[in-house]
Amino acid sequence: MTRVVRMIQGRWKLPILFRLYADPSMRTSRLRRDLPGISQKMLTQHLRELESDRLIERIDFGEKPPRVEYQLSEAGKGLLPVLIATRNFSASHPA
Amino acid sequence: MTRVVRMIQGRWKLPILFRLYADPSMRTSRLRRDLPGISQKMLTQHLRELESDRLIERIDFGEKPPRVEYQLSEAGKGLLPVLIATRNFSASHPA
DNA sequence: CGGCATCCTTTCTGATACTG
DNA sequence: CAGTATCAGAAAGGATGCCG
pLDDT of residue B1: 81
Domain count within chain A: 1
Q: Closest nt to B65 (CA→C1')?
A: C1
pLDDT of residue B94: 74
CB-nearest partner of A5 from B5, B15, B85: B15
Average pLDDT taken over every residue of chain B: 96
Predicted confidence (pLDDT) at residue A95 exceeds the cutoff of 80: no
**Residue B77 domain boundaries:** 3-92
pLDDT tens, position by position, A8-47: 999 999 999 999 999 999 999 999 999 999 999 999 999 9
pLDDT of residue B58: 98
Average pLDDT on B45-50 reads 98
Average pLDDT on B6-22 reads 96
A70 within 8 A of A25, measured Cβ to Cβ = yes
Counting every residue, how long is chain A?
95
Average pLDDT on B25-54 reads 97
pLDDT of residue B2: 85
**B65 CB and strand D closer than 7 A:** yes
**A50 vs A15, A24, A65, A70, B16, CA distance in Å?**
12, 15, 24, 10, 24
Question: Which bases in strand C are touched by protein, i.e. have an atom under 7 Å from a CB?
Answer: 1-6, 12-17, 20
pTM: 0.94
Distance between CA B85 and CA B53 in Å, rounded? Answer: 21
CATH code, domain carrying B37: 1.10.10.10
Q: Round to the nearest angstrom and report the end-to-end CA distance of chain B.
A: 28
pLDDT tens, position by position, A55-81: 999 999 999 999 999 999 999 999 999
**B10 CB and strand D closer than 7 A:** yes
Q: Helix crossing, A40-52 with A13-22: angle to 10°?
A: 80
Predicted confidence (pLDDT) at residue A1 exceeds the cutoff of 90: no
How many percent of chain B have pLDDT more than 90? Answer: 94
Q: Where are the beta strands (DSSP E) in chain A?
A: 26-27, 56-60, 68-72
pLDDT of residue A93: 83
A62 conformational bin, left if phi > 0, alpha if psi -120 to 50, beta if neither: left
pLDDT of residue A94: 73
